[in-house]
């Protein structure tokens, strides 16, 4: 996983809920739920961009942890 993966549409789909997947990484489960609530209450472009950055950054910094790795494989197929 690299910085350029931020441009992948999967992050947008995760935040707005069009992508419903079972994630392994507990930190991401909990953070994503929070971000989806925030999106529901304020679906502005700025808000979704900020939320995408949060979930992406969590995965980027955790990319070597087994549960995060499994999610990255699932989400980005890499």
Partner 1 sequence: MKKTMFKIEEVAKLIEKDKVLLLAGDENLLKKLPKGNWIGGTIPYFMSEKGGMVTKDMILVNEMPDFIKSIKCQAYDATNVHAIYNDGFENGFTVIIVPGMSDLHLSFANNATDFDGFATKPLVGWISGGLLADLNQRAPGTAFGPEATFSNDRAVAMHIELPKGKYAQTSIINIFSQGNGDQIEFPKSGFTATEVLINGQKRNFADYIAEKKLDIRLPLVADYSGSMINISFQHVDQAKKVVSFYAPVFEGVVYKQAGKIENYIHKFSKQVPSNGKQNLTFSCNCILNFLYSELEGKKTGSITGPFTFGEIAYQLLNQTMVNLEIADLS
Q: Applying CB under 8 A, does 73 fall inside the site for partner 1?
A: no
24 counts as binding partner 1 under rule CB under 8 A: yes
- Smallest separation (angstroms) from partner 1 to the CB of 40: 5
Task: Round to the nearest angstrom and report the end-to-end CA distance of the chain.
Answer: 7
Q: What are phi and psi of 39, to 5 degrees?
A: -65, -40
Residue 18 binds partner 1, judged by CB under 8 A: no
Asked if residues 52 and 12 have their Cβ atoms less than 8 Å apart, the reply is yes
The residue ranges of DSSP E strands in the chain, in sequence order, are none
Taking the complex as a whole, the smallest distance from the CB of residue 52 to partner 1 amounts, in Å, to 15
Place of tokens 């070597």: 64
Q: Could you list the residues that contact partner 1 (CB under 8 A)?
A: 20-24, 26-34, 36-37, 40-41, 57-58, 61, 64-67
């Amino acid at each position: 996983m690299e910085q350029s993966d931020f441009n992948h549409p999967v992050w947008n789909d995760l935040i707005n809920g069009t992508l419903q997947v079972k994630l392994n990484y507990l930190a991401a489960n909990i953070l994503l739920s929070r971000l989806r609530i925030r999106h529901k209450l304020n679906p502005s472009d700025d808000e979704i961009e900020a939320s995408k950055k949060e979930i992406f950054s969590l995965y980027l910094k955790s990319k070597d942890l087994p549960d995060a790795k499994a999610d990255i494989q699932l989400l980005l197929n890499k």
